[in-house]
Structure 1
Amino acid sequence: MKFDLPPMMSLCAFEASARKLSFTKASQELHLTQAAVSFQVRKLEDRLGVQLFVRGHRKLLLTPEGLLFLTAVQSALSTLEAGKMSIVGCGADRHVTISVPFSLSGKWMVPRLHKLTRIRPDLDLRVDATDHLVDFDRDPVHLAIRYCEHPPDNLHSVLLFADTVFPVCSPNLMAKFEGHLDPGQVVKQILLHDEMADYTWYDWIKSIGLNNEPTVGGHKFSHTGNALDAAIAGQGIALGRLALVADDLAMGRLVIPFTMVGTTDYGYYIVVPEKSRSDPLVRTVVEWLISEASMTEQNLP
């Protein structure tokens, strides 16, 4: 039996756009650009020779043909999904284990896991939050996120976040200075130190040309996430890494006193051993991480 059917991508773009009545919302769900979704739908219309949507200003409406076709497409996709589950089996091992630095796990990845669940409800993600490097030959881990200068050559790697560093503090602390805190005042406050030795308060102060040395006292933390929590509580000023403070900045729990940003040669990399690269579930997790990192950078205040 020969089928003359449109490409699956066009059908999925149409179904999501019709359900959301928005190319923009469909693009967010499918992790594509709005232009790509619109192009796929237009290509589908050209192939079918009918108009599926009435395109208004920031609004989509289904034509009668579009409504009829949507019913057929959703039915077909549901049948495919049911067929997939019948051969995969609900009891099959669908887990992926990822090793993630402790602070990145708590401050960035874990709060976003519900989005991955929406994409792949059958996926069992197991998060190993640790700052210790895993041995892929020995440990049952499929992929990892590593904070490093150069990822190992024997692992497939993708840069997740470049490293940018800047002071952060609570809005209440800023209010004590009437919303203005200059670099000279920063070094006179309680500085919150972590054990990220690649870039410390000494490096930041040197980079902005101050001769002062940061407070020898203050509080020291083994994890950056704890230092940031102390800053949120108004106990001092911490050094924030982009990925670790994005949510706290967006929610107003932290503020940036001024835009003097330090950079390092380090970064957060996704690393995958060769044995895991062909696993479709691992690829799903990698693609989701990259998409979330992109949205995090775009949505920074």
Structure 2
Amino acid sequence: MSNRSLPPLTALRAFEAVARRSSFKAAAEELFVTPTAISHQIRQLEAQLGLRVLERTPRAVRLTAEGSVLYQATASGLGEIARAVALLRQRQDATILTLTSTTAFLGHWMVPRLGELRRLLPDVDLRLHASDAIVELRPGGVDAAIRYGKGPFAGVASVPLRDDVFGPVCSPGLGLSVPEDLRQATLIHIDGRQVPAPSPDWPRWCAEAGLLDVDTQAGVRFPDSTLAVQAAMAGHGVVIASLVLVADALAAGLLVAPFAPVLRGETYHFACAPELQARRDVAALRAWLQDVMAET
């Protein structure tokens, strides 16, 4: 049977309601029509099918054997349609908020806190966009960003969240305690780090620490901070990392910052399209970031 030969949906809805409620009157009230209209729909349905689906008596309405088969199908089908419509409406009502930042920030800092953020904004569909390039912020596209630099940034509304600092971190299993221990340690380098400038690398750190007899070019090299920090956690050496981004690993004892000095970095900012500043979900995300990053 093709879809074109199916009975009208209005007739099937009327039949399902009568069968479920065992009453023309109750079905009419549920569907906001008259009992006469319900009777007309049932007659139309039976005429098209060429059989009776309901037995009518002055006191009750009962399904025929054929009506029982049809009721099982219509109840199931209309129920699935109702659930699908409810899901679509729920998705439509949910606010979509897209936040972009660097892979390092999202991986090290944001992802561990997603549970806390979802509890704060349960009706927000948060989507994370990882990019080390600056992404245009606009309504209907990428709404907000965590940007890193001096600020302010052209074309967006931004607020500073906190300043960044860099220092040597490593696995506690290495047993480092004083800067001189670096003479026997493996240095981990991060190539291609463009901000901050000057780069918080080993030549700069050793010059700041007055440690002039360390080969600052030796060691192992990684293309990004995520891999470099993972190598440090695994005990493969010492890396100069953002102490903001590795704060959770330090708190958990997966990493230690065995000695000073620290190097100043740039500032983390929350940025959004100017016309989105007052949107409820954007304002809530901004306030949460300000509170949590102040505590990091």
TM-score range, shorter chain: 0.5 to 0.7
| Aligned equivalents of 2:105, 2:144: Cα separation in 1 | 15
Which ranges in structure 1 are unaligned for 5 or more consecutive residues? Answer: 1-88, 175-179, 297-301
C-alpha deviation, 1:181, in angstroms: 2.8
Partner of 2:179: 183
Equivalent residue runs for 1:165-244 within 5 Å = 165-174=166-175, 180-194=176-190, 195-197=192-194, 198-244=199-245
> What is the letter of the counterpart of residue 186 of structure 2?
I
C-alpha deviation, 1:210, in angstroms: 2.3
Equivalent residue runs for 1:43-62 within 5 Å = none
Any conservation in 2 of the 1:168–1:239 contact (CA below 8 Å)? yes
Gap change, CA 1:230 and 1:215, over 3 Å in 2:
same
Partner of 1:19: none
SS at 2:250 equivalent: helix
C-alpha deviation, 1:190, in angstroms: 1.2
- How many residues end up aligned between the 2 structures? 202
Gap change, CA 1:189 and 1:123, over 3 Å in 2:
same
- Can you list the C-alpha shifts for 1:117-172, whole angstroms capped at 9, x where unaligned? 11121111000022111022598100101122333143222222311111011011
Partner of 2:287: 287
Q: Please, what is the CA RMSD of the aligned residues? A: 2.0
| Aligned equivalents of 2:278, 2:204: Cα separation in 1 | 41
| Aligned equivalents of 1:116, 1:137: Cα separation in 2 | 22
TM-score, scaled relative to structure 2: 0.63
Gap change, CA 1:187 and 1:276, over 3 Å in 2:
farther
Tell me whether 1:156 sits opposite 2:152 in the alignment: no
Quick check: which has more Rg, 1 or 2?
Answer: 2
| Aligned equivalents of 2:263, 2:93: Cα separation in 1 | 47
Equivalent residue runs for 1:59-208 within 5 Å = 90=90, 91-136=92-137, 140-174=141-175, 180-194=176-190, 195-197=192-194, 198-208=199-209
TM-score, scaled relative to structure 1: 0.62
| Aligned equivalents of 1:99, 1:234: Cα separation in 2 | 31
| Aligned equivalents of 2:139, 2:118: Cα separation in 1 | 28
Gap change, CA 1:243 and 1:168, over 3 Å in 2:
same
Partner of 2:278: 278
Any conservation in 1 of the 2:165–2:263 contact (CA below 8 Å)? yes
Tell me whether 1:256 sits opposite 2:246 in the alignment: no
| Aligned equivalents of 2:132, 2:138: Cα separation in 1 | 18
C-alpha deviation, 1:189, in angstroms: 1.7
| Aligned equivalents of 1:190, 1:222: Cα separation in 2 | 17
| Aligned equivalents of 2:207, 2:213: Cα separation in 1 | 9
| Aligned equivalents of 2:183, 2:152: Cα separation in 1 | 34
| Aligned equivalents of 1:117, 1:259: Cα separation in 2 | 36
C-alpha deviation, 1:95, in angstroms: 0.8
SS at 2:127 equivalent: strand
Gap change, CA 1:187 and 1:145, over 3 Å in 2:
farther
> What is the letter of the counterpart of residue 179 of structure 2?
P
Matched-pair identity in %: 34
Partner of 1:43: none
SS at 1:263 equivalent: strand
SS at 2:217 equivalent: coil
> What is the letter of the counterpart of residue 104 of structure 1?
F
SS at 2:113 equivalent: helix
Any conservation in 1 of the 2:206–2:212 contact (CA below 8 Å)? yes
- Can you list the C-alpha shifts for 1:19-65, whole angstroms capped at 9, x where unaligned? xxxxxxxxxxxxxxxxxxxxxxxxxxxxxxxxxxxxxxxxxxxxxxx
> What is the letter of the counterpart of residue 183 of structure 1?
P
Any conservation in 2 of the 1:104–1:243 contact (CA below 8 Å)? no
Runs of 4+ in structure 1 off by over 6 angstroms are none
Gap change, CA 1:208 and 1:215, over 3 Å in 2:
closer
| Aligned equivalents of 2:129, 2:170: Cα separation in 1 | 29
Gap change, CA 1:214 and 1:158, over 3 Å in 2:
farther
Any conservation in 1 of the 2:203–2:216 contact (CA below 8 Å)? no
Gap change, CA 1:274 and 1:249, over 3 Å in 2:
same
SS at 2:93 equivalent: coil
Which ranges in structure 2 are unaligned for 5 or more consecutive residues? Answer: 1-88
